[in-house]
Amino acid sequence: MELEPGVEGLIHISEMSWTKKNIHPGKIVSTSQEVSVQVLEVDPDKRRISLGLKQTMDNPWDAFAASHPKGTIVEGEIKNKTEFGLFVGLEEDIDGMVHMSDLSWDIPGEQAMNEYDKGDMVRAVVLDVDIDKERISLGVKQIDNDPFADAKAMKRGETVTCSVVRVMEAGLEVETSTGLPGFIRKNDLSRDRSEQRPDRYAVGDKIDANIISVDNKTRRVNLSVKALEFAEEKEAVANFGSSDSGASLGDILGAALKARMEGGEPETETEEDKS
């Protein structure tokens, strides 16, 4: 750029446009064209003047941040797919990026990437706008609430009803009545070792089990039928008798089962009845 006779300055390609990167200067300006520029730096020793063309224009990143606060839903076309996420075209020729970890709540990012192609239209939530780094972070999965959020209210020892969704050698993959994924290890299928066989169950079977832990990393609720059996036995002993009263474990569990089936309390056997 000739600023005045004998005085020239340079506009680096990175200072020519807010959105067009590594583009030939001839596609933005032409020889002999007069444009307004901003002086960025003057180095008398090197006799060099650095100029900026984009600084005379509105910064689209500022405008986007002002009109799209965190949580705003946007829609755009997938401009590019990379090994770590999707680049989505937004207004004013700026792009936002969806990291693969923000594509789905339920499936791994690499797998979720396979469901998208360049040119697809996607809706996403604005997660963050970094004006200095000219970076917009978007999330697709945040369009919907996290289904695993309900797991925070679950307590260890709580009994839940599950449906078998997959029978494996190592145990059962299940789904709780609230729709959360769960797993019952083979050893937790029963207190009786002979009953610890996943093949006893089929997809669709209903199972009652106790929560033993909530794994936020794997996003899975770990369950145990065995823990439920022990808890029921303990409750039965407390409610229907004990060894001190002369009742056997079979009598106690039998009374508890009868009470459950009849929906009432068992009659307490007196010393006179025993005699």
Residue 272 scores a pLDDT above 50 = no
- Is there a single domain that holds both residue 150 and residue 262? yes
Domain harbouring 37, CATH code: 2.40.50.140
Query: Is the CA virtual torsion 23, 29, 32, 37 positive or negative?
Result: negative
- Is there a single domain that holds both residue 34 and residue 94? no
- Is there a single domain that holds both residue 139 and residue 165? no
- Is there a single domain that holds both residue 72 and residue 103? yes
E-strand ranges in 140-191 read 159-168, 171-176, 181-185
At residue 58, φ and ψ (nearest 5 deg) are -65, 135
- Is there a single domain that holds both residue 161 and residue 234? yes
The answer to whether residue 275 is domain-embedded is: no
- Is there a single domain that holds both residue 192 and residue 227? yes
The answer to whether residue 220 is domain-embedded is: yes
Between 57 and 224, the higher pLDDT residue = 224
In whole numbers, what is the pLDDT of the chain averaged over residues?
85
CA distance to 78, 92, 190, 217, per residue, from 133 (Å): 21, 17, 56, 30
**pLDDT given for residue 240 in this prediction:** 58
Residue 128 scores a pLDDT above 60 = yes
The residue segments making up the domain with residue 28 are 2-56
The answer to whether residue 254 is domain-embedded is: yes
Overall domain count for the chain: 3
